[in-house]
Chain A
Amino acid sequence: MSFEKEKYAALQREIDKLKNEPGALMPVMQKAQEIFGYLPEDVQRYIAKALDIPASDVYGVATFYAQFNLEPKGKYIISVCMGTACYVKGSQQVLDKLEEVLGVPAGHTTPDGLFTLNATRCLGACGLAPVIMINEDVYGRLTPDQVPDIISMYH
């Protein structure tokens, strides 16, 4: 609880620094995400109140930009490359299989908080297409049937 309080205090310090600048909303939201790891509803409401703007403005920006997370991030971030080379080599099927195995659509976190599944742009390993990354680990030349075994290594 006091840990939560400290986070809000840290956020308030950032808001105090930024609040009189034009266009303060985006940097405040970025700081909030650094502090909380993501942007829960309560934090968005807090920002709205502090900046004297409607909550719909904050939520609108939070849902517009891919950089903002509305859910906590998992322990393992799975990035599925959707760049041209990977896509041509079947990364969509790999992503479909990951969604099936994890039970969450891309952009979301599994209920146990272990995995966050993201579709991303080119990871720069086109020679290994199709490629996924799980945190810092790279898996290349994947086929969908390899997905369950890879995931089970992280359980």
Chain B
Amino acid sequence: MAMVNVTIDGVKVQVEPGTTVLEAARQAHIHIPTLCHLKDINAIGACRMCVVDVGARALAAACVMPVFDGMVVKTNTPAVREARKAVLELILSNHERKCLSCMRSTTCELQALANDLGVNESKFDGKNIEYPLDTFSPSVVRDPNKCILCRRCVAVCHDVQGVGAIGPIHRGFKTIIAPAFGKKLSETDCINCGQCISVCPVGALRERNDTDKVWDAINDPDKIVVVQPAPAVRVALGEEFGMPVGTRVTGKMTQALRRLGFDKVFDTDFGADITIVEEATELLGRIKNGGALPMFTSCSPGWIKYVEHNFPEMIPNLSTCKSPMQMEGAVIKSYYAEKAGIDPRKIVVVAVMPCVAKKFEAERPEMEIDGMRSVDISITTRELARMIRDARIDFAKLPDEECFDELVAQSTGAAPIFGATGGVMEAALRTAADVLENRSLESVEYHEVRGLEGIREATYTLGGKELKVAIANSTGAAKRLIRRIQSGEANYAFVEVMACPGGCVNGGGQPIVSAETRMDVDPRAARAAGLYAEDEAKTLRKSHENPDVKKLYEEYLGEPNGHLAHRLLHTHYVDRSVK
């Protein structure tokens, strides 16, 4: 197709037809300011921050204005600058400007724009409506006083996740982004994925802050506080300390956890290896015994809640395996406690997760064993970063040496890839293939299941049998896949679903990546690359070959899917659909 010639602030660029002025301007190295725009998620031209002069009578919104041949764009005229300032001043006039105490200070896109554009006082001090905070969800806090109505959260919740727990309510000055019928978020079918938090440009949506609970536990001399970081945390935590998106900081992370005062540094990756042993066994059992197929993975708590609300008839298809976080917690409070001779009631298990739904999962009554929670506190990557800053640890200068503790922390390459979409599938295939072929296969990489497409499928012949698998990432993609399965259009033995697009690397608890950075970097791909590098760096890459996992089964659990394994490592689900 013929390229289109555009002149932007005197710079000539050639772009493909259909390109927006916003995208074309980046080729001329001009970063037009935006607020409501978010690449691939929201382009509605609503906030008018990105207005430019395209030679027409009125200024145009660059984020939705397609280029045409011979177009002359001016992005920095007095009229454009004045219009943008007016927009910012109006947004600021009813924004709660308590930046000092805001969780998003320094990562706030509104704050950054106010600084960049020199809007440092509010011209309009008009009427304001004060809204109560919605703090009833264990995962997400809603603060309408900070909301600028950009609708990025609405777009991700409706269009990407297929949930629609929040939307614009009322009209004009009274508009707020809220659940229907004046409900609290915890009373809706919100799945706690926290994608709304990840895309919020300001502090209107944020995680429940549980760092004080962790400090209290660490400072309690009667408690033994152990920590387990999830795979995806180690390829994102560095971003909070100025490192490029996707930097691997496994060593520094373990060093920081030790310095924070955790008594033991264990690893959710060990739990991931156990998960594979249990889940692969369960899958092969279902295939052999005619159990419910396809079997769906169950690591993602957002996905689980999505099924419970929307497809309760598919609950029998969910693997009964707990998530790696819960398995790790359960093993710490049973096997580890016994080996170390510690009363499990004295142990506080802290999980560091890329996820805000894990806060909900940790509190699920189904996860309790003998009236005891397996995971006591679940914090996000962002909360861990805040604790590290609070403790004044110079993270970037910490040594790159892993310092995990013994017994329940060693992992194979199959574990870190859990954090990327397709990773659980690949890890399970590595183990299932060895079992079905009845030998140790040399090839361990299954590239067909990797990638970022919403739905991916592959067929493998293992032990003379065909195994059809599929992967869905985002609950929106999962919904489309389930409909195809229910209509009989598609048919699989095993399906991996992660609630978040891209999997855990892009979870709702991960460091915020600004709209500006997302124009150039896809955090899903950059962080996943870090996890696959972690996998390649390991000598052992199949979960069932993990020596500490073998020891756990030999000395404590017995058979995978056996009686004790079921008691500790498996769970059940709840029908949450509205009848």
Contact = CB atoms under 8 A, between A and B. Distances in A.
B167 to A, nearest CB: 3
27 contacts: A41-B181, A44-B181, A45-B578, A53-B164, A54-B158, A54-B164, A54-B180, A55-B180, A56-B158, A56-B166, A56-B167, A56-B179, A56-B180, A56-B188, A57-B158, A57-B164, A57-B167, A58-B180, A59-B180, A59-B181, A60-B168, A60-B169, A63-B169, A63-B170, A63-B171, A64-B168, A64-B171
Interface centre among B158, B181, B578 (most CB of A within 10 A): B181
Interface of A: 41, 44-45, 53-60, 63-65
B181 A55 contact: yes
Interface in B136-181: 158, 163-171, 179-181
Most A CB atoms within 10 A — which of B164, B171, B188?
B164
A155 B158 CA distance: 47
A59 B181 CA distance: 7
- 6 shortest interchain CB distances as A-B pairs: A54-B164, A56-B167, A59-B180, A55-B180, A56-B180, A60-B167
Interface of B: 158, 163-171, 179-181, 188, 578
B165 A54 contact: yes
Contact of B163 (A45, A54, A58, A59): A54
B169 to A, nearest CB: 5
A65 B170 CA distance: 8
Contacts of A64: 168, 170-171
Of the listed residues B163, B180, B188, the one surrounded by the most CB atoms of chain A closer than 10 A to its CB is B180
B578 A54 contact: no
A55 B171 contact: no
Contacts of A45: 578
Nearest to A60: B167
Contacts of A41: 181
At the interface, is chain B mostly helix, strand, loop or mixed?
Answer: loop
Contacts of A55: 164, 180-181
Contacts of B578: 45
Nearest to B174: A63
Contacts of B164: 53-57
Contacts of A54: 158, 163-165, 167, 180
B170 to A, nearest CB: 5
Contacts of B169: 56, 59-60, 63
A76 to B, nearest CB: 26
A44 B180 contact: yes
A5 B63 CA distance: 48
Nearest to B181: A41
A57 B166 CA distance: 9
A65 B171 CA distance: 8
B171 A59 contact: no
Contacts of A56: 158, 164-167, 169, 179-180, 188
B279 to A, nearest CB: 32
A2 to B, nearest CB: 20
A65 B169 CA distance: 11
A71 to B, nearest CB: 13
Contacts of B163: 54
Contacts of B168: 60, 64
A57 B164 CA distance: 8
Contacts of A65: 171
A122 B442 CA distance: 82
Nearest to A40: B181
A56 B178 CA distance: 8
A41 B183 CA distance: 11
**Chain B CB within 10 Å — which of A45, A54, A65 has the most?**
A54
Nearest to A70: B181
A54 B181 CA distance: 12
Nearest to B170: A63
A44 B180 CA distance: 10
